[in-house]
Amino acid sequence: MSLKSFNHFETLCTKPIKEVRNTANHQLGINPSSAFRFDNTADSIKAFLSQPGSHVYSRYGNPTVDPVGQRIADLEVSGSKTKAYGVLTSSGMAAIHICLQSLLLPGDTVITQEILYGGTSELLNKVFVPQKIKVLNLNFSNLISLEKSLLKLKGNKVIYLETPVNPNLACVDIKAVSKIAKKFKVLVIVDNTFCTAYIQKPLLLGADIVLHSTTKFLHGHGVSMGGAIVTKDKLLMHDKIWPFLKLIGSTSNAFDAWLIHLGLKTLHIRMQRHCDNAMALANYLDQHENVQKVNYPGLDNHKDHNIAKNQMNGFGALLSFEVKGSIQNAKRVMDGLSLAAIAPSLGETDTMVLHPASSSHLRVDKKLREQHGISDTLIRVSVGIENIEDIINDFNIALDFKIRAK
């Protein structure tokens, strides 16, 4: 009996519709199916043996999700002959967790910075340390210290970097760190969320793995959650990272992947405008009488300006600045902004501000925060793509203490 013979009303309501396609989609389609059907058991067996690759179940891979992960990988090595492999995850934090957990065992070590995104620090200390995975915090401007540490440490090791660092915008020389790491056969992982491949390509500078929160600049519009893991090493992806992603289940979904794909189409245009606006705002703030200090890699007075100039194509959308006086002045500035939104994210088309000491880095020890320039008066700014005159005017009004004090 053929499928056509099952024509009762209830059956017709539920049985699959055969997809009719006589021309190709111009745009990527959304394929939300959780499972994929086979014509026979032989095809099913072949698909399960061809993993990753063949679509059997969306936790393993999906026709919408997979090509977006690969597009991000292609961007990370664009302009070179290098091949890269990418997967999407449910969030940036999921990408960090899956990457590190797939590579490390009890007794192994993550070598990283003292100051990171607050969520990353919490993940390391609350999830990995209890698993007896050590966390060693180093100053990566001291390469001799790094080399000595690699000589002493036992077990597997990975180096995990943010550059620029959140929120003081310090920069790490990826090429120099990667050169030392390769001597000891240690993998270098770089969170490239702030820059995206438009500004910085860590894989081409010697890093082994790149991570992203696609929620930020890659999507760019604040309506999609996601993360990405990219590596040049096919075996590393297929034998370690992808199996862990599949088993943990922190995979992306078709709709979020589709939204990320839409954002990628304007990534180059947005990032250039972000960079131009951030440079202009940084220069304005650097001259303001009520601003103590500005952290932006594009400024000549930034301590890592030369590193940024050598490894970045532009200086990004993120800056931070210290307001003169007390925390009350910082709050006054933030509350006085009209165009810029107070929001716990970054990388969207509109300008966003955050007070790190009371939000993203709230659980970081105060002495450590202050040691790395995260004072109570520090404000982080994700500069948007609005008209730069409007952005500057917004901060100009908010920074006018005398007028606002009346």
Domains detected in the chain: 41-264 (3.40.640.10), 268-405 (3.90.1150.10)
Q: Does 6 score more than 90 pLDDT? A: no
Q: Does 406 score more than 60 pLDDT? A: no
Instruction: Tell me if residue 71 is catalytic.
Output: no
Predicted pLDDT at 377: 95
Query: What are the CA-CA distances from residue 78 to residues 71, 185, 203, 324 (Å)?
Result: 10, 25, 10, 43
Distance CA 170, CA 354 (A): 18
Q: Does 405 score more than 60 pLDDT? A: no
Q: How many helices (H) and strands (E) does the chain have?
A: 17, 12
Point out the catalytic residue in the list 60, 66, 71, 117.
117
Distance CA 298, CA 308 (A): 8
Distance CA 133, CA 197 (A): 30
Q: Does 18 score more than 90 pLDDT? A: no
- Scan for tokens 């010697």, then name that residue: 206
The verdict on whether omega for the bond into residue 52 sits within 30 degrees of 0, i.e. cis, is: yes
Q: β-pairing, 157-162 with 85-89?
A: unpaired
The amino acid sitting at 318 is: L
Six token digits for residue 162: 């943010």
User: In the chain, pLDDT over 90 holds for what percent of residues?
Assistant: 87
Point out the catalytic residue in the list 71, 134, 201, 216.
216
Give residue 185's region: left, alpha or beta (phi > 0; psi -120 to 50). Answer: left
Q: Does 1 score more than 60 pLDDT? A: no
- CA quadruple 258, 260, 261, 266: dihedral sign: positive
Q: Does 112 score more than 80 pLDDT? A: yes
Predicted pLDDT at 2: 60
Point out the catalytic residue in the list 108, 173, 191, 304.
191
* Residue 403 pLDDT class (50, 70, 90 cuts): very low
Instruction: Tell me if residue 39 is catalytic.
Output: no
Residue-wise pLDDT for 209-266, tens only, equals 999 999 999 999 999 999 999 999 999 999 999 999 999 999 999 999 999 999 999 9
Distance CA 334, CA 76 (A): 35
Predicted pLDDT at 4: 65
Query: What are the CA-CA distances from residue 250 to residues 90, 99, 244 (Å)?
Result: 5, 12, 9
Distance CA 178, CA 119 (A): 24
In the sheet where 352-354 sits, what is the strand order?
291-295, 318-323, 378-382, 352-354, 341-342
* Residue 402 pLDDT class (50, 70, 90 cuts): low
Six token digits for residue 209: 């793995």
Instruction: Tell me if residue 59 is catalytic.
Output: yes
The answer to whether the CB of 207 falls within 8 A of the CB of 174 is yes
**H or E stretch covering 88:** strand 85-89
Distance CA 393, CA 361 (A): 28
Q: Does 20 score more than 90 pLDDT? A: no
Mean pLDDT of 156-178: 97
Instruction: Tell me if residue 60 is catalytic.
Output: no
Q: What is the pTM of this model?
A: 0.95
Which among 155, 200, 187 has a CA at the least distance from the CA of 304? 200
Collapsed DSSP state (helix, strand, coil) of residue 320? strand
The answer to whether the CB of 322 falls within 8 A of the CB of 293 is yes
Predicted pLDDT at 178: 98
Predicted pLDDT at 15: 86
Q: What is the mean pLDDT of the chain?
A: 94
- Scan for tokens 């120099």, then name that residue: 176
Predicted pLDDT at 401: 73
* Residue 13 pLDDT class (50, 70, 90 cuts): confident
The answer to whether the CB of 260 falls within 8 A of the CB of 134 is no
- CA quadruple 237, 243, 248, 254: dihedral sign: positive
Q: Which residues contact 402 (CB under 8 A, 6 or more apart)?
A: none
Q: Which residues contact 84 (CB under 8 A, 6 or more apart)?
A: 73, 74, 76, 77, 203, 230, 231, 232
Predicted pLDDT at 219: 98
- CA quadruple 268, 270, 273, 277: dihedral sign: negative
Residue-wise pLDDT for 121-146, tens only, equals 999 999 999 999 999 999 999 999 99
Q: Which residues contact 267 (CB under 8 A, 6 or more apart)?
A: 75, 196, 198, 217, 218, 220
Residue-wise pLDDT for 50-98, tens only, equals 999 899 999 999 999 999 999 999 999 999 999 999 999 999 999 999 9
